[in-house]
A and B are shown apart, each in its own frame.
Chain A
Amino acid sequence: MTDHTNDAQTTVLVIGGGVGGIKAAMDLSEAQKDVLLVDKAAAIGGLMTQLDRTFPTNNCDLCTISPHLSAGARQQHIDLMPLTQVTAVTGEAGDFTVTLTSTPRYIDLEKCTACGECHKKYPECVRFYPGLDHRAPTCMRYPQATPQAFSIDMAACKDVNGLVNVCPANAIVVDDQEKVATRRVSSIILAVGADLFDPDKLDHFGHGRYPNVVTGLEYERIMSASGPTLGELVRPSDGVPPKRVAWIQCAGSRGINREDVSYCSSVCCMYALKEAIVTKERFQDDIETTIFYMDMRTFGKDYEGYYQRAKDQYGVRMVRCRPHSIVPDSTGQQLHIAYATDENSGMTTELFDMVVLSTGFRPSSHTTRLAEILGVELNAHQFVRGGNFEPVVTSRPGIYVCGVIEGPKDIPETMVQASAAACMAARHTGHAGSAAEVESEYPPERDVIGETPRIGVFVCDCGQNIGGAMDVDAVVQEAAKYPHVVHVEMAGHGCGQEALDRMRQMIQEKNLNRVVVGACSPRTHEGLFQENLRKAGLNKYLLDIANIRDQNAWVHGGARELATAKAKKLIRMAVGGVAQAGPLREHRLPINKDVLVIGGGVSGMSSALALGDQGYKVVLAERTGRLGGLAAIIRRNLEGDDVRAYVAQLVEKVQAHDQIEVITNAIVVDHSGMPGKFQTGFQIGPRMYYRQIEHGATVMATGALAHRPDQYLLGRHKAVMTQLDLDDLLETQPEQVSNWECMVMVQCVGSRTADNPNCSRICCQSAIKNALRLTDLNPDMRVFILYRDMRTYGFSEDAYIEARRRGVIFVRYQADIPPRVTADGDRVTVHFHDPILGRDMEVTADCLGLSTGLLADDETTEDLAAIFHLNRTEDGHFLEDHVKLKPLDMSVPGFFVAGTAHSPRTIRESIAQAQGVAGRIQGLLAQDVINLGAVVARVDRDKCATCLVCVRACPYHVPFINEDRYSEIDPAKCHGCGICAAECPAKAIQLSCFEDAPIMAKLEGLLERIA
């Protein structure tokens, strides 16, 4: 690896190796920027690695994050410093000098194989991080920790010599010291996340005193396969499986009492639902789940459906209240929850086996110190303050922020901000070496065509991971007998630098032309070994990996003979397969670096500006005659900023920008090509002339529609209006408004209904915003807000509190008994049921404000989805590729989505997405060529019967019958699935890397002894 120590021009410092920091680092490295990633913990991954599953996909979290980590560890541009903190910063944007202090690990990272011997013999010496009551079976935070190494607490270690001797890799460094280093960096991304609230301080809930009261995270650990109980759900007090589990929401959040914070932590409703769903999935009718909540805040994309499924499909019981206390029963095994509901004035007590406290985020004291060191402002809640229209920009130029430390948020929003921060931070860096230059450092490929296979087999022992489960020597001896095998050796930790060097040396010395590695999974390590072959002058496809760890040693840990026999077979199969492998060429295309942005609203303009500022040429296509979108008619945001002025200034910047061409009245009519080489046709202007634009990436920022449902006399009585209308009226006719005596607002009009099931996310904030402005104008005005759940997530909860303080009356209504409105001259009368008074009420109001929210622009997204082959959600929003890992990428490579075309969101959140998209695109376009890989289908023209089967079977419509009358498959377009190869009745198609010959050879290798 090259030393970039003094290369201030290109390096970005990322502080914090949680999911946000990793994403920012990955995006920057994709954009060929050097990254220094520091984390105060011994391994990166942050909070997410401790979660069992994450919403809304409820997939196992390890599989979600481990590709990120293993790739992250390999990225050539990322320099990782664990156990390291920033202790000083000087300089300015473009050239900061940072002081980094690393605490000793007492372990040599290069040598540690994470075999676990130290922990087995001296558990007290090994640092353990989850910070929970229960120790995990492994003291790495999770099985695939990066870096994969232990960490020693020397102070706690009594028998240092014993510890040193127990380590088979000699990795213990007894005299390891604290290290202080300075580095020059161009910009800094702050991604330190936050702690979770420690509920021990809340004496009425008894956490820390009653073993069966656990936090959400502790519950995750109990449910986790890598947790203390190996995934068995048991009551901590006595190990008995619980029958009744309760969740108490807002533990320590949304409160006014001692130890409470006022803001909403934004994620707890979803994680409690997730935990309840997962619990129900696993135990069905054997377990009861109850959630005690104040407002169910499922405001994210498609989260409302998740909530409804939890209730209706899984039978999670929902009780709306804030429980008073938890008291154990006489046995001490069960817990009484005391609570009162709206419907029932008396106190109810109910018995549960376990209670989960949904605790939220708290910035750590460490963050406060770090903010001082960095000189960035914090807000009233000690989170880092981001700009109102520049969400990832801190008060100090050159320092950016993303993730929870900027404000409570879930994984998708964190990933979005991480990409945005990567985009902004990259502005301060120059150009780093591109991937193509690295390639040229490799020796030329040796021509092996026509040579008899000479196979070298390298069997990893993987620091006991493999060696502990089988007789590696026996495997090695057996492998020497396989056909074409000319060299076999045990490789220790095969992926270690030493072993890789040795492998290359053997390739040279023994003149090997094929390699088999008995190792872990090719999913994680194929790239590494392929690169090693390439460095040794062999084509990288002359490799096969026998997965003898993940799919053998780890499975048959208790059955040594079985594992040994299976490893022999797996290696025999790989030897058979690789003997049939041939060198392959990867397909590359030059990339077009222009970007097409579709949609001229705030999101589209923000993306265009971010990309234009980076020097990319951008075409911004707007369907209407003007830029600005929906935001252009909004007057104020919740923070009170002048939105119109902001949008006007954005329009001006876009129009004046050298790199941005704006085309208005432009309708997309056709599209073709692939990422890096798209062509999109438009009909433009009143005369509808046709123009084709060539571009390498595409941003979908087509926005959404302001909903105006035909309800509550909207459009039929002048006293009835939407929050948008009211926003305008407040600005244009304040005198008229200040004369009003009574205002009523109704939430969820046309949202969370059968027609439009999702939450519009923004309406609760809009209602509060307007209520506060009304009471500014006329403090005596009576304002009623009729709501279902108030969803003022994050810091907007403060505004909700302020509205209540000012006397705004909030009345909950149920979806099946909505308010009614009747005309009453110039005024309207609103009829509703007050659940606390238990009475039907009537209020005559000067104005009825409807929170109508946003609606997907179904017609537009349908048309565009058809032209571009994009996916949509059921309600007509564009669908991202992966809700958590790739929230901005679409499933069609080269397409990205930002703003309300993705889902309803605020202007600030749209800008984060827009800049995040620019960050993603910067990675895509940093390459000079597109590498399309080598796994493509090839047609043997002599065998082709032109039967059209491939033409019809291909999911991507790639094969066609060419002028020479045989099927042709463009390698640049082939996705490499092999469906055509399996369907071809003439056996004229082979898929490179997965041809029939190696597959048959593997089968023969496996089954030869049976004959």
Chain B
Amino acid sequence: MITAERKPLAEIIDYIDNCRRILLVGCNECVTVCAAGGRKEVAMLASAMQMDFMKRGKTVDIREMTLERQCEPEYVEELAPFIDQADAVVSMACGCGVQEVVRRFRGKRVYPAVNTSFMGAAERPGVWAERCHGCGNCLLGLTGGICPIARCSKRLMNGPCGGSSKGKCEVSTEIDCVWQLIWDRLKELGIEDRYEEIILAKDWRTERGGGPRKIVREDLAQ
């Protein structure tokens, strides 16, 4: 899941301070689940923006909408009847959603209200942690199913650095040393030998080295 968190209110206000009519758009997908941009967060932000404007003696008209998935053109189309009544769109979706709105409504100012952070999982209710970096060439099969790219501060591929201490990363004691986790898991599986195998230098072209990426399924592509 894509995780995000809301931007500071001041930054959002800064974008739209001269607008009178705002279309505030949430997304019922990932950002709802990570409590950053669902219907509830839309209402919270609308109220916060409203109060901020009023406090300064200004008024603003905010229309709240939450789309099923803001990264899909058909859902984004639902904004069409309302778009002309807005001076600007504030999107609470991830970057994909923001850009999809931009692509559809080229003449409209569109601003993000959340910082899209990482691909992660819910460790426990209310806590999300990074799990995948989207490198385009998965090596979980070699590392006991635990990703050193997303979860090692240095993205080390062959064991921990000297900063690993008591299973924690030197960057912060909050961060597990991923290589400790990998080792523990390999041991649990009884395949410690795997640890000795050298992972060769990674081909980063599948990540960002080869420029913006695209996936095409010929059979499905229209």
Contacts and interface: CB of A to CB of B under 8 A. Distances in A.
Interface of A: 943, 945, 947-949, 952-953, 984-988
27 contacts: A943-B28, A943-B39, A945-B28, A945-B29, A945-B32, A945-B33, A945-B38, A947-B32, A947-B33, A952-B125, A953-B125, A984-B40, A985-B32, A985-B35, A985-B39, A985-B40, A985-B41, A986-B28, A986-B32, A986-B38, A986-B40, A986-B66, A987-B38, A987-B39, A987-B40, A987-B43, A988-B39
A988 B40 CA distance: 9
Nearest to A947: B33
Select the residue from A952, A987, A988 with max chain B CB neighbours within 10 A: A987
Contacts of A985: 32-33, 35, 38-41
Given A945-B33, A985-B32, A987-B43, 19 more contacts: A943-B28, A943-B39, A945-B28, A945-B29, A945-B38, A947-B32, A947-B33, A947-B38, A948-B33, A949-B35, A952-B125, A985-B40, A985-B41, A986-B32, A986-B38, A986-B40, A986-B66, A987-B39, A988-B39
Interface string B104-129: 00000000000000000000010000
Contacts of A984: 40
A232 B29 CA distance: 61
Nearest to B43: A987
A723 B83 CA distance: 87
B134 to A, nearest CB: 22
In the A-B complex, the 6 residue pairs with the closest CB atoms? A987-B39, A985-B38, A947-B33, A945-B32, A985-B40, A986-B38
Contacts of A948: 33
Nearest to B27: A945
Contacts of B40: 984-987
Interface in B32-49: 32-33, 35, 38-41, 43
Contacts of B66: 986
Nearest to B41: A985
Contacts of B35: 949, 985
Interface in B12-68: 28-29, 32-33, 35, 38-41, 43, 66
Interface in B135-162: none
B31 to A, nearest CB: 9
Contacts of A947: 32-33, 38
Contacts of B43: 987
A949 B28 contact: no
A252 B66 CA distance: 76
A557 B104 CA distance: 63
A500 B66 CA distance: 46
Contacts of A945: 28-29, 32-33, 38
Contacts of A987: 38-40, 43
A201 B196 CA distance: 97
Select the residue from A949, A985, A986 with max chain B CB neighbours within 10 A: A985
A984 B28 CA distance: 12
B39 A986 contact: yes
Nearest to A952: B125
B57 to A, nearest CB: 14
Contacts of B38: 945, 947, 985-987
A939 to B, nearest CB: 13
A632 B32 CA distance: 63
Nearest to A945: B32
Select the residue from B32, B39, B40 with max chain A CB neighbours within 10 A: B32
Contacts of B125: 949, 952-953
A914 B66 CA distance: 57
A4 to B, nearest CB: 55
Contacts of A988: 39
A938 to B, nearest CB: 16
Contacts of B28: 943, 945, 986
Interface in B58-89: 66
B15 to A, nearest CB: 24
A945 B29 CA distance: 6
B2 to A, nearest CB: 13
Contacts of A949: 35, 125
A987 B39 CA distance: 6
Contacts of A952: 125
Nearest to A1011: B54
Contacts of B29: 945
Nearest to A988: B39
A947 B35 CA distance: 10
Nearest to B39: A987
A948 B29 CA distance: 13
Nearest to A996: B43
Interface in B167-222: none
Nearest to A953: B125
Select the residue from B28, B35, B41 with max chain A CB neighbours within 10 A: B28
A952 B33 CA distance: 13
Contacts of B32: 945, 947, 985-986
A951 to B, nearest CB: 10
A949 B40 CA distance: 13
A949 B28 CA distance: 14
Contacts of B33: 945, 947-948, 985
A986 to B, nearest CB: 5
Nearest to B1: A947
A985 B44 CA distance: 11
A438 B200 CA distance: 81
A255 B33 CA distance: 73
Nearest to A944: B28
Contacts of A986: 28, 32, 38-40, 66
A43 B11 CA distance: 67
Contacts of B41: 985
Nearest to A951: B125
A327 to B, nearest CB: 68
A771 B64 CA distance: 83
A987 to B, nearest CB: 4
Nearest to B26: A986
A953 B40 CA distance: 16
A966 B40 CA distance: 18
A948 B125 CA distance: 9
B37 to A, nearest CB: 9
A990 to B, nearest CB: 12
A89 B178 CA distance: 86
A268 B83 CA distance: 77
A95 B29 CA distance: 71
A824 B194 CA distance: 72
A952 B125 CA distance: 7
Nearest to B35: A985
A949 B34 CA distance: 10
Nearest to B125: A952
A952 B38 CA distance: 18
B184 to A, nearest CB: 27
Nearest to B66: A986
A933 B160 CA distance: 59
Select the residue from B35, B40, B66 with max chain A CB neighbours within 10 A: B40
Nearest to B124: A952
A948 B41 CA distance: 17
A109 B7 CA distance: 66
A1003 to B, nearest CB: 12
A984 B44 CA distance: 13
A301 to B, nearest CB: 37
Select the residue from B29, B35, B38, B66 with max chain A CB neighbours within 10 A: B38
B29 to A, nearest CB: 7
Nearest to B31: A985
Nearest to A942: B68
A267 B29 CA distance: 63
B45 to A, nearest CB: 13
A417 B150 CA distance: 67
Nearest to A949: B125
Contacts of B39: 943, 985-988
